[in-house]
Amino acid sequence: MSYAGAPPAARDFWVDRPVLVTGATGLLGGRLVARLIDLGASLVCLVRDDAPSSSFDRSGDIGRVSVARGDVRDQALMERVLGEYEIDTVFHLAAQTIVGVANRNPVSTLDTNVRGTWVTLEACRRSPTVRQIVVASSDKAYGASALGCTEDSRLEGRHPYDVSKSCADLISRAFAETYGLPLVITRCGNFFGGGDLNWNRLVPGTIRSALRGRRPVIRSDGSPLRDYLYVEDGVTAYVRSAEAVATMPGIAGEAFNFSNGQPLSVLDMTRAILDVMGSDLEPDVRDDAHHEILEQSLDATKARTVLGWAPDWDLERGLIRTVDWYRQHVSSARAEAREGAIELQLR
């Protein structure tokens, strides 16, 4: 299917629009909530567990939205929330997103990521008010596909997290094709930005190690290639995707890749972070990671031509902003105890 490009949404598109965000306590979810508040949306956020260290809570945004407490796998809850708040637009981001956790706890990850998706979509299908849905997939849905994946590349995850995203992606396409559900699917590279407190991820882990004067640990051999996308560019991608569903009816069921088109090896990304920080520390390359995708990157041509999306942040500017956030929030000695509590919450 060919498109001339998404017409721009009206300036007041989001004003007073009832929007549900699942996964608001995550890195992307918290930033998306902040953007939608600025745009004037009437927000409802599904929250399973308290996350006082998340940007959603820390920024005070939790007090600016309606909060529905519960699990995304609860069908009755999802239908009640959509009905009582007369939700118009749904951003489904809730997921277990840590690859290592998925390898250790595959059943929990599959249940959350796969069942959580079909429950959300079935609730949307039953709702008379839902008009736009954006489902968060991932570049990992492509599995071991190599560089330059397009939206037509096969979805063939091989390990628990990758499989969960392949399945959620296919389920979303099935609901769009079979029931005409007005949704689009986003497939993004690795997000980074201030507020990510999953320390076993490359960017926050490297920054915290450098702030402590410790060599950052690389679990792989440093060679895997990945896309890295600053989180604010991801937020723009999600907002633009929802607007496109509203302004381009024929777009329902489509998937879009979002990438800055500059894949880096894990080792090169680590060194880029250290350079921004002015650190001469050498990475500690352990080479003990398992089930790593060796080379993967996304071709975002479709998002650029159809949605008119392009990243606003280059890698260096995004890293400078990210490092500044961690310098403010993590570098003090008093943060040690707080971070220990955060790490326990994330296990």
Which residues are tagged catalytic?
161
Give the start-end residues of each E strand in 70-159. Answer: 89-92, 132-136
Distance CA 83, CA 86 (A): 5
Residue 263 phi/psi, 5-degree rounding, is: -65, 145
Which has the closest alpha carbon to 8: 325, 309, 316?
309
Q: Which residue has the tokens 């407490």?
A: 69
Which has the closest alpha carbon to 94: 22, 196, 195?
22
Q: Parallel, antiparallel, or unpaired for β 183-188 and 190-192?
A: unpaired
Distance CA 248, CA 236 (A): 17
Q: How far is residue 268 from each of residues 105, 200, 273, 274, 285, measured CA to CA in Å?
A: 30, 17, 9, 10, 12
Query: How distant is the alpha carbon of residue 56 from its chain centre?
Result: 14
Burial 89-98 (b: 16+ CB within 10 A, else e): bbbbbbbbbb
* Sequence-ordered list of residues with C-beta below 8 angstroms from that of 242, at least 6 positions apart, any chain: 89, 91, 132, 134, 184
CB 85 within 8 A of CB 123: no
CB 54 within 8 A of CB 26: yes
